[in-house]
Amino acid sequence: MELLAGLGFADIVFIPKRFSDKPALVIELKADGTAGGAIRQIKEKQYISALGDYKGNLVLAGINYDKKTKKHECKIEKYVYGNDNT
């Protein structure tokens, strides 16, 4: 299920239990795009806003699948939400 967030829909969002030391995770899936483009989309379309009151460490993951070659690529990035780069 996609989660309404910011200016679109985040493909997959994991929100840790309250007071957990685990990071939240936002994943964007692409086909015939780029993993970096998926990460940019998470930020540009403000999918992180779907996390509501959550502040802290995040993991952003962009995954791209190339239909022609049947290969995938993944980019993972640490992001701190609620501080300087919100």
Q: Output the CA torsion sign for 21, 15, 42, 12.
A: positive
pLDDT higher than 80, residue 6: no
- Copy the structure tokens of residue 2: 């996609």
Q: 67: helix, coil or strand?
A: coil
pLDDT in tens, 27-49: 999 999 999 999 999 999 888 87
Length of the chain: 86
Q: Can you point out the beta strands (E) in the chain?
A: 3-5, 8-10, 12-14, 24-31, 56-66, 71-81
What pLDDT, on the 0 to 100 scale, is given for residue 52? 75
Q: What pLDDT does residue 2 have? A: 47
Phi-psi region of 30 (alpha: psi -120 to 50; beta: other; left: phi over 0): beta
